[in-house]
Amino acid sequence: MIVVTTPTGQIGRQLLDRLLDAPGAAGRIRVIVRDPARLTPRAREAAEVFRGSHADPGVLAAACEGADRVFWLVPPAFRADSVEGHFAAFTDPLCEVIASRGVRRVVAVSTLGRGVAKDAGQISASLAMDDRIAATGVHYRALCPPFLMENLLRQLASIRDRGEISLAVTEDRVLRTCATSDIAATAARLLLDGSWTGQGDVPVVGPDELSTEGMAKVLSEVLGRTVRVRRTGVAEYAAAMRAAGASEASAQGLADMVRALDEQGFYGIDAQSTPDTAPTGFRQWCEEVLKPAALAG
């Protein structure tokens, strides 16, 4: 039995589709979701649905009763009073369930930066989550992507209206990227394979060596219009997050994250591409995902 958290999110939705496509999936998939209406009709019919949050110990324990595999993703801490507290509020119940319900394997979405990232806000909290889960002794795989290509979808209006993307990274520095579809595919392979053991990181790094200026050039070519990159200062980025409704703690954590990304470079050129887990290139993603979304708007 496989338990899927965040089944309506960018990664969880694609993962759930892949699991339901697998032979013999019927009766083997459970999902934890706050609003079941957001599931596809297919998912509501084929998966066993547990309504609530996976931070709720009771909901999580019920969903994991008799389950041996869990897909784990902590949702964004956008309005949290503490970034570390937000991750702990989700991770503590999981650690309890691992011990009490016999969960044998956990596949989680984490991040690059282990051993490098320092004082990096949400990234540091995610890496600490890995350590806490691994300490239970469960068989564990942490999927470790760099910058998600889908982050650019939040800037569709700016791309359409001003021909501009804003990123808080030095313009000529390589920024490694990854498509969420590749994370979902890698998670599905691991969850459907009951043979792996032990603990380890699984980098999910796309094939490109593009700077943010290089990304803007690809966007220009794919969209057929000039797109420029504007470097956002850390303070400006944090202010924009507050204006968008982020809590003070979340905005500060995001500011610490982008500062660490730029200064410490752990999403940069030293991160080797991993074609087995992340074959999707940035141009392909722009053509298949961003351009249709831009045209639809």
**pLDDT tens across 158-209, in order?**
999 999 999 988 888 899 999 999 999 999 999 999 899 999 999 999 999 9
Q: Which amino acid is at 20?
A: L
pLDDT score recorded for residue 170:
85
Overall domain count for the chain: 1
Cα 221 to Cα 119: distance, rounded to the nearest angstrom: 37
pLDDT score recorded for residue 11:
98
pLDDT score recorded for residue 41:
94
Q: Do the Cβ atoms of 78 and 250 come closer than 8 Å?
A: yes
Considering only residues 244 and 103, tell me which one the structure prediction assigns the higher pLDDT.
Answer: 103
pLDDT at residue 26 is higher than 80: no
User: Tokens standing for 271?
Assistant: 């991160």
Assess if residue 70 is contained within a domain.
Answer: yes
Considering only residues 292 and 76, tell me which one the structure prediction assigns the higher pLDDT.
Answer: 292
Assess if residue 228 is contained within a domain.
Answer: no
pLDDT range class, residue 66, cuts 50, 70, 90: very high
Q: Express as a percent the part of the chain with pLDDT over 90.
A: 84
Assess if residue 214 is contained within a domain.
Answer: no
Taking all residues of the chain, what is their mean pLDDT, rounded to a whole number? Answer: 94
Assess if residue 297 is contained within a domain.
Answer: no
Assess if residue 135 is contained within a domain.
Answer: yes
Report pTM. 0.96
Domain range for 139: 2-146+179-203
CA neighbours within 13 Å on the CB side: how many for 134? 14
Assess if residue 54 is contained within a domain.
Answer: yes
Q: How far is CA 206 from CA 52, 149, 176, 182, in A?
A: 34, 10, 7, 9
Cα 89 to Cα 95: distance, rounded to the nearest angstrom: 11
Assess if residue 88 is contained within a domain.
Answer: yes
Assess if residue 21 is contained within a domain.
Answer: yes
pLDDT score recorded for residue 271:
94
**DSSP run (H or E) holding 115:** none
Contacts of 199 (CB under 8 A, 6+ apart): 134, 138, 139, 140, 141
Cα 235 to Cα 166: distance, rounded to the nearest angstrom: 13
| CATH number assigned to the domain comprising residue 56 | 3.40.50.720
